[in-house]
Structure 1
Amino acid sequence: MNWKKWWPTSLMARTLWFTLLAVFLAQMIATLIWYGQSKRRDLEGLESAASSMATMFASTVTFFESLPLQYRHIVLDQIRNMGGTRFFVSFNEEEIRIDPIPASRMKHTAVKAIREVLHDKLPRLDVIRVEFSRPETLHVLKNDILLSDLPRSWAHYTLSLEPLNPPILVVQLELAQGEWLYIAALLPPPYTSLEDEIITNQQVMFLLFITALLLFFTYTMVRRQTKPLKRLADAANALSMDIYQPELKEEGASELVTATRAFNRMQQRLRRYIDDREHLFSSISHDLKTPITRLRLRAELLDDDAKIDKFNKDLDELEMMVKGALQTVKDTDLHENLTQVDVAELMRSISESHNGQKMRVHLPDDRIPPVIGKPLALKRCLSNLIENGVKYGQEVWIDVEDSDESLVIRIWDQGPGIPEEKMGAVFEPYVRLAKDEEGHGLGMGIARNILHAHGGDMTIRNQEQGGLEVTLTLPRFTV
């Protein structure tokens, strides 16, 4: 099972999970401590209550033993007719079968305390049975008679505590051969249930309510604090593609205000740097055009045609370098607004200019969801790469791999490829491997710079079967 899939990634989710874990652990530790202390007090109280009841049982046994045999049943009948006592008492000819309740620490403590007191108070009795039974399975008088079979006036008010129906304590003592004294009673509150509950339903509801309340306040507080942090993260993510963003509002904790203020200052410096760079190149373009033109006019005044050709050639190279530098700045310009870009449509429009009677650009059939980016810049990037592939490899194949995180575009051809020692150099300005006079050697560098500006990357490698493979990676952003 992939646990990373379920692991929270956002600050709010992690804070809530850690808060929930801390509350759970704190409640568990507090509950265990409380349970240990309260259970010790309950056992001590149960032992004392059971000993007191055992003492009353011993007094009852002594009282009935003091009566003549013929009067014992008469006294019992009078007690039952009056509504009974705290105990249900009967004389039986045999030991009544008792269906015991499940063993527990509370039951063991009560049974042990009652037996010890009865053996101490009634040392002449050898057989003493102590057990607990449920009211619905309690046998009385005989083994085939249940408590529910008796008249309600006999034992209902003594042994029933509806709707709780707690277990009933049954003590049977063999007074003589074929003569058993049967005593049934309820333990006094709060020891009626004998259940070893660590936590009650009411306590569970209380803990859930407290936890939910704490999580609600934690969520409200964290959401309020992380909102400016998320806005700062989104702005930092978008900064790579749009330097001209509005300034962020400085709010939140003091650390967030400081970070937001620093981000705004950084964005202003970057914006001034980009503007100064554009002004610089515009000035260079304007200032160099005049002397180049002046030098061309002066070259025409020379009498030597060979020198004129040399001057013009040097001036052409100088003008090409100026135009190349300006093209580099222009082609990596990021003043476009971010928008949904249909990459498939871009590739189709580029391929149409190359596909005539012969198919030169083979596009993928897969549907490509739009990506967030600068449409003109991405078109420039793809155009440079596809045109290079068609020019030097005759045919170009394109494949895509799409995921939630990124869009990967593979472009390969069957051309001569690039020597391994020149792999890094092709991205440098004015580096050309071809011997023709077309181009300035800026296309690969511009394409990679555009991808870097979108937060992506570009790699190249030679294929084993020949040709160059270019891999473009574009991250998927949301706006």
Structure 2
Amino acid sequence: NIAAVALKHASRRAIVETTETVALQGLFGANWWHTAHQKSFAIKQRVLLLEGYLRQGQALWQQEIAACLAEIEQAAEQIDQIPTRGVLPGYLEAPPELTAVDPLLQEMIARLCQNVPDVELEFDLHSKGAMVAVHPMLFELALEKLVTNAIEAMDRHGRLQIHSEVRRGNIVLIQLGDNGPGLPPEVVNSYLRERISRPTNQKGQGIGGMLARVIINRYGGHLRLEHSSPSGVTLTISLPLAKR
């Protein structure tokens, strides 16, 4: 009946709470938080209206309930899209650009590490001029989060290995490996998918890996934890090879 349907839709408040939490953690930045906040506020207001209608139990409210349900459904669907697709500032809604992988890795990672002289960089780049279709600024942000995590894990002293190649003729593979202490066993299964709790004396919010995964997924790619042990962590990024 309509009351059951209303309550089912109202239960989607869990989506609101999750999205607001993620947005407030800074995962999507100010523009994205504003979008999530607008939609979640709209849902909350309509849920309050629904609860009032249901308490009164009058059939004459059916049209109003149906209108609220439609608005809740629309707002919830828009919120659902935020973690996987992102709501980007206008200048990033342009088509992705063809970006050469090896030069980007070489220049950007060297720049990130220029102030950490005790981190040794080992480049093993073999993507042979391969291009990927990304927004360079966002893709650099994803790499920055992963490289920064590796540097901090090594306590700013160690070896960072960067490897690239083309697999099966249509996949660009990028591997980042450090020789830090590895991930704590309790976070291995949730790394890249959930916020990682960090000691209060450490910088950051523990969401860099999540953000990197969201960005890479946006371009049809995947980010996975390849290996974690007391001798270090290896991450693998795979992206579709772009056609010129």
- Interval of TM-score (by shorter of Structure 1 and Structure 2): 0.5 to 0.7
If you compute each CA radius of gyration, which structure gives the higher value, 1 or 2?
A: 1
TM-score (norm 2): 0.56
Give the direction of change, closer, same or farther, for the CA distance of 1:280–1:371 in structure 2 (3 Å limit): closer
CA contact (8 A) 2:162 2:176 kept: yes
Q: Which has the higher strand share?
A: 2
Q: Please tell me whether residue 353 in structure 1 is matched to residue 101 in structure 2.
A: no
Match of 1:344 in 2: 102
Structure 2: how far apart are the matches of 1:432 and 1:353?
A: 24
Counterpart of 1:363 (choices 119, 123, 139) is 123
CA contact (8 A) 1:454 1:474 kept: yes
Structure 2: how far apart are the matches of 1:332 and 1:462?
A: 32
Match of 2:164 in 1: 400
* RMSD (CA atoms): 3.3
| Counterpart mapping for 1:12-411 below 5 A | 280-281=35-36, 283=38, 333=88, 335-347=93-105, 348-356=107-115, 357-366=117-126, 367-393=128-154, 394=157, 395-403=159-167, 404-411=169-176
Give the direction of change, closer, same or farther, for the CA distance of 1:423–1:463 in structure 2 (3 Å limit): closer
SS of the residue corresponding to residue 175 of structure 2 reads strand
Structure 1: how far apart are the matches of 2:86 and 2:220?
A: 16
Segments of structure 1 that go 5 or more residues without pairing to the other structure are 1-276, 285-327
Q: Which has the higher helix share?
A: 1
Counterpart of 2:205 (choices 433, 436, 440) is 440
TM-score (norm 1): 0.30
SS of the residue corresponding to residue 417 of structure 1 reads coil
Give the direction of change, closer, same or farther, for the CA distance of 1:438–1:465 in structure 2 (3 Å limit): closer
Q: Please tell me whether residue 419 in structure 1 is matched to residue 175 in structure 2.
A: no
Which amino acid counterpart does residue 281 of structure 1 have in structure 2? A
Report the alpha carbon displacement of residue 387 of structure 1 after superposing the two structures with TM.
Answer: 1.0
Report the alpha carbon displacement of residue 466 of structure 1 after superposing the two structures with TM.
Answer: 0.9
Deviation string, structure 1 residues 46-103 (Cα, Å, up to 9, x no partner): xxxxxxxxxxxxxxxxxxxxxxxxxxxxxxxxxxxxxxxxxxxxxxxxxxxxxxxxxx
CA contact (8 A) 1:398 1:411 kept: yes
Structure 1 vs Structure 2: percent identity of aligned residues? 19
Report the alpha carbon displacement of residue 429 of structure 1 after superposing the two structures with TM.
Answer: 4.5
Segments of structure 2 that go 5 or more residues without pairing to the other structure are 1-31, 40-82
What is the number of residues matched between the two proteins?
163
Q: Please tell me whether residue 458 in structure 1 is matched to residue 220 in structure 2.
A: no
Which amino acid counterpart does residue 410 of structure 1 have in structure 2? Q
Give the direction of change, closer, same or farther, for the CA distance of 1:364–1:400 in structure 2 (3 Å limit): same
